Amino acid sequence: MALSNNQKEQELTKLNKEMAEKRKKLKSDIHKADYDKSNLVKFFDLFLLANSKVNIGSSEYIPHYVEQILLSIAWMNGSTKEDLLTLYQSLPESCFNLDKSGIKDSGIKDPTKQTAWMQEKYLESSYTTLVSDVMKLTATDRAKYFLAHPDDLTFMSYGRPMLDPQALPTIGFQQVDFVHPVSKTPERMPDCMEMAILNKMLNDLAGGPGNTFNVATLKENLKEMGYQMHIGLDKFLEKYPNPSQVNEIAAHKMWAELVSGLPGVKYNPIHPTFEIVPTVGNALAVFGALLFNSKLTPLPGDFIDYEKLDRDRAKKMDMICKVLSRKDREIGWQLRGKDGRGVDDKELNDESKNETNLVLEFTVNRQSKYDWVINSGHSQVNPKLSSKNDFRTGVGKEMAELILKDKGKLFKEGSGRLLSWLITSDLSNDKEIISKLKSANATTIAPTHYSDFINGIPLESVDNKLFVIGEFAETASAEEGNVSKVDKLKSKIPQDLAPQRRLYATLADHYYYHKIKSGAIESKTDDPKYKDKKPLFTPITLPKSDLRIKVLGSKYVWEEGGLVLGDTIKNPNGSDKKMNFKDAVTYCLSLNKTPLPTTQAEFERFASDKANKPPFNFCYLPTREEYEMFSKKMNGNGSYKGNYLPHFLANLYERWFWSSSVRNAFEAYVFDGNNGFVSNFKRNISNSVRCACAVTWRGN
């Protein structure tokens, strides 16, 4: 007898409680010990118990999630198809998806299908043969071939990073847990700049014998220049000699430990010995510490001292590219201007203009291969799509055309995932594919099938992660579980300020924004799910010990354009401390040890003096202009009148805030926390208050 939804929910809750302690103990045992095959048995016991107790599919996970986990674990415990077959034959058929008729047809126990499957082989040489064959076809014919032979595309897509010497390593980033090499304390950080530095170096070393990183030539180049690499770098490249494992968690951890606490490198001020600040100077300092670590004796006659190049950053970059080059693989570089064109490499020496927020373009044998984007809040390496020897070139667009011509039928047959394998880690290469599918998504392709395509997009870059989050958010109402997918992916965005702002600008354009604008929040103001008890964004970028945070409010502080905007002032019971205009001005001024000015009249005279420009170097009530700047930053489209989202920051919703700007003798300007607009009220009315101060303020 089928269970009702209520019974399923009760059964699932009971099962979760029953298994929670078992999962906790198993996780603890695994963490304490080295990997043991016996853990596999325990895993399957738990899995089969869950499956037998209640068979409820979860929309929170991508399709075939369980099968992928099982397959991954199976590969850890076997190296042949015979091993896989032995393992999977022991599983009950209820573990596998049923087809539409309810009859399973995996063929796992069919001797004929078993024999055919066992005879299918993909070898290293198969990759070269397949690429050679498909490159003889036009892009359209390649698309047709891959739709007819999805197994070949699967093999080529997964095999490319390891088997194609022309392929650049694809390295993602994450919140990495590691032990600091100096303090020996456990730390956690987003490793964007760290992995970008590694990505640049491994891109240049790629394509060595057997598709390994050509470390031998690197060492020889360093020796000829009179240097020896850092012993930690030597050990890292020995442990990870090819692209197949550099994305593993252990690799992220080892690299984080290597590049933390290096001399001459500027780290995040909050923890000044780890989390590299994304700047050109820091990149050069890290390469100096790792590549040009120690000098050999005797020195060669043409020895160039990397350290003494001092501020000649262009020559330092030349040295880095030279030492990472080899006879058949010359590495070059240029600084890209704002218009996208290259500029004189001497421009790199102007630190005031070219320390961050720039793009370095790198070439291999004078062919553009990848860009290194260094922004103030994030850094990443974006590979270029090579048109000459990349089997993916042009195929995605043609496959999308075929799917649309077939009115989306092919998507239902699983080609959505095939198409996602043709998407690169740089979405700018694939705008045509995305735009074609999006234009037809509502009428031709069902949301569930489009989601299958989105599920398969590579997530190494911030751009791809944000795109996938946006797509799931946009279809949240049509596709059950997409809200949960967004919430899971949100945690993968680095905690750097720039990516976080882009994340919430993305969400402002999609489901959170639509929920708010459709009245879900306005009509349910007592619903804690939407109240500011759980804000979407709390951008605290200052050290917790900073006096400004203690003064302005310890929780929800916003830093922007040299201004620190504090939390909403509260009463001891947690309610807003409402004030009239005069009291609001006086309250914020009273936060200073030696307040200047001290009264409303003095502040008005001070602020009206054109010689005094905000942000002022003391605590004060924010100006109208500063609230307008704040409003723009809270918009998805960056404009004053756009997709303003009050839940970017807590304690904004359903409030009016006094500004220090006066309209006339009777009225002053106020900021509407609901909609982000500035209006004006009579000065005797009571409103909420937020104080502000300059970033440079230190408790005067």
What is the per-residue pLDDT for 190? Answer: 83
Q: From residue 180, how far is each of 231, 283, 442 by CA, in Å? A: 17, 20, 50
pLDDT tens per residue, range 592-619: 876 577 777 787 777 777 777 777 778 8
Strands 227-228 and 563-568: unpaired
> 103-117, 125-139, 250-264, 602-616: lowest mean pLDDT where?
103-117
With CA atoms as reference, report the closest residue to 355 among 338, 376, 334.
376
More confident: 402 or 317: 317
CA distance 234 to 259: 13
Residue 414 φ/ψ region, left for φ over 0, alpha for ψ in the -120 to 50 degree band, beta for the rest:
left
CA angle 132, 133, 137 (to 5 degrees): 110
Q: Is the pLDDT of residue 511 over 50?
A: no
Do you know the residue count of the chain?
700
DSSP labels, 182-244: TT--EEEEE-HHHHHHHHHHHHHH-S-GGG---HHHHHHHHHHHTEE--HHHHHHHHH--STT
User: Amino acid identity, residue 81?
Assistant: K
Q: Which of 321-325, 467-471, 541-545, 632-636 has the highest mean pLDDT?
A: 321-325
Segment 405-432 mean pLDDT: 70
pLDDT value of position 601: 78
Strand partners, 333: 362
Question: pLDDT digit string (tens) for 650-676?
Answer: 677 778 999 999 998 899 999 988 778
Question: Residue 597: is the preceding peptide bond cis (ω within 30°)?
Answer: yes
Contacts of 253 by beta carbon, 8 Å cutoff, 6+ apart: 176, 177, 178
Residue 343's SS3 state is strand
Q: What is the mean pLDDT of residues 233-251?
A: 91
Across 179-183, 366-370, 599-603, 682-686, least confident range: 599-603
Q: How many CB atoms lie within 10 A of CB 338?
A: 9
What's the rounded mean pLDDT across residues 506-529?
Answer: 45
CB 507 within 8 A of CB 486: yes
Residue 238 is predicted with a pLDDT of 95
- Residue-level pLDDT at 486: 75
Lowest model confidence (mean pLDDT) among 157-161, 287-291, 400-404, 422-426: 422-426
| CA 627/CA 633 separation, integer angstroms | 10
pTM for this entry: 0.65
Percent of the chain at pLDDT > 70 equals: 64
Bridge partners (DSSP) of residue 678 are 671
Cβ neighbours for 134, distance < 8 A, ≥ 6 positions apart: 142, 145, 146, 152, 156, 391
Does the pLDDT at position 218 exceed 70? yes
pLDDT surpassing 60 at residue 338: no
CA atoms 351, 352, 357, 360: torsion sign? negative
What's the whole-number mean pLDDT along residues 478-483?
56
List of residues 6+ apart from 345 with CB closer than 8 A: 314, 317, 333, 334, 335
Across 515-525, average pLDDT? 40
Give Cβ neighbours of residue 54 (< 8 Å, ≥ 6 apart). Answer: 3, 8, 11, 12, 15
Q: pLDDT confidence of 584, banded at 50, 70, 90?
A: very high
| Model pLDDT for residues 30-89, shown as the tens digit of each residue | 555 555 656 666 666 666 665 554 444 444 455 566 666 766 777 776 777 777 777 666
DSSP code string of 608-620: HSTT--SSPSS-B
